[in-house]
Amino acid sequence: MVNILLCINIIILLICICIYLIALKSKKAPRLFALYLGAFILFIESHIILAITTSFNFGTSEWFFNGEFDYNTKTEVITSINLFIIGMILGSVFIASTITYKSSSYDVTFENKSIARFSWLLLVSILPFVVVYLIKLIAFISSNGFYSLYINGNKISGGYILDLFFLTLYSLLISLKNKKKILFIILCVACVYLFIGARLEFMFKVFPVLIYYILISKNIHKYFRLKNILAISILFWGLIFSMQYSVSARDNIEMGSNIITTFLKQQGVSVNVIGIAIKDKNNSLLSESVILSPLYDSAISLANSLVGVQSNGNSVEFAENSFSLSHKLSYLEDPSAYLAGYGVGGAAIAELYIVGGYLACLIGGMLTYIFISILEKIAKKS
């Protein structure tokens, strides 16, 4: 039955891709969704693809939960993923019937001086907090050495205030003249992140800006010609592979003789987060609405950063009181590893399943596609 569900998953995924490409050709779909779909296939579908094409056993976990999920958990994982994809299909049909994306080019610059002044004011207001962080960082490196930032997670964090600073700075620079030169500088920063294995920092500080650059480009349509889509796809997979390789080299993890298979196996661990969440779904610690995590935890972290409070990291109190599914699952599965600073990561489908079961997964997939569609539509009007 599990193998049948895996095959059904691939069929549904192919249907989703075909419908999206047809809608995209008819200017009835957002280009931005291609990036999300690529990430979804990499992080969620990798283990399913490996299970069908190789001898890989789907539902086997080697991180936090060591072993193999039972039959019921496997079927629930695959079913929840299938319903999420069906939700995206329904969302694409809805958007195709209501929105048309014109092919006219557009550009976003700070010709409006009031917007420019506000943006620079925001940047300057954040700067003192960034300076405080840099002072703490220099003190940390002086005491522990630079290599300590590379070999473990016991590093001082700049929190959301640093994320906000970089995003504001990059967005401002890209919106001015000489976009390509500035983009080159940002890519150099990305290489530094890759070198130290900082995947999270790369995803939050650099990757969104690259998407923003494409969205505001005067000739946006040129990025979505077939040859450029292939180039962007190769770049995307190359960056992800580089990040994974840097982390493996840092932690002395053997990539294996078949690098591609090992890479997909490592990147697809997000699907195991869904399995762990389903396995522990009846635990009282998961009874709170984890869907509020991005709002609640981000607000608390930002508030702490603004007043100079340093987070204590993983703790029993945080695991019990936070809305974060990642912290709760990590604490439930391996308290000692969690308190040492490690975690299982997160997965939107897992959060949706905990909140509302299969129905939430279906609605979540539909809303995800609709949100991305509206986001690109708004960007075109700006």
φ, ψ of residue 298 in degrees (nearest 5): -65, -40
189 pLDDT exceeds 80? Answer: no
Question: Strand 60-63 to strand 65-68: parallel, antiparallel, or no bridges (unpaired)?
Answer: antiparallel
Quick one: three-class SS letters along 84-106? HHHHHHHHHHHHHCCCCCCCCCC
68 pLDDT exceeds 60? Answer: yes
| Residue ranges per structural domain of the chain | 2-104+222-272+345-381, 113-217
What does pLDDT average to over the chain? 72
107 pLDDT exceeds 50? Answer: no
**If pLDDT is split at 50, 70 and 90, which confidence band does 78 have?**
very high
How high is the pLDDT of residue 109?
Answer: 47
- Whether 376 and 30 have beta carbons less than 8 Å apart is answered as yes
How high is the pLDDT of residue 192?
Answer: 59
Cα(189)–Cα(206) distance, integer angstroms: 8
pLDDT, greater one: 105 or 163:
163
Contacts 24+ apart (CB under 8 A), 182-191: 183/210, 183/213, 186/210, 190/239
Q: What is the pLDDT of residues 238-281, one digit of tens each?
A: 766 666 666 566 556 555 556 667 777 777 777 888 888 888 87
Helix (H) or strand (E) holding 66: strand 65-68
pTM strictly above 0.85: no
> Which of 30-44, 142-156, 236-250, 350-364 comes out lowest in average pLDDT?
142-156
Q: Helix, strand, coil % (nearest 5) of the chain? A: 75, 0, 25
Contacts of 108 (CB under 8 A, 6+ apart): 175, 216, 382
Cα(299)–Cα(201) distance, integer angstroms: 18
Q: Which amino acid is at 92?
A: S
Radius of gyration of the chain (CA): 22
3-state secondary structure of 371: helix
Question: DSSP letter string over 230-272?
Answer: HHHHHHHHHHHHHHHHHHHHHTT----SSHHHHHHHHHTTHHH
How high is the pLDDT of residue 268?
Answer: 74
Q: Which two tokens stand for residue 117?
A: 């002044």
3-state secondary structure of 246: helix
Sign of CA dihedral 342, 343, 344, 347: negative
Cα(140)–Cα(288) distance, integer angstroms: 36
pLDDT, greater one: 152 or 297:
297
> Which of 88-92, 108-112, 322-326, 352-356 comes out lowest in average pLDDT?
108-112
How high is the pLDDT of residue 306?
Answer: 53
φ, ψ of residue 68 in degrees (nearest 5): -125, 135
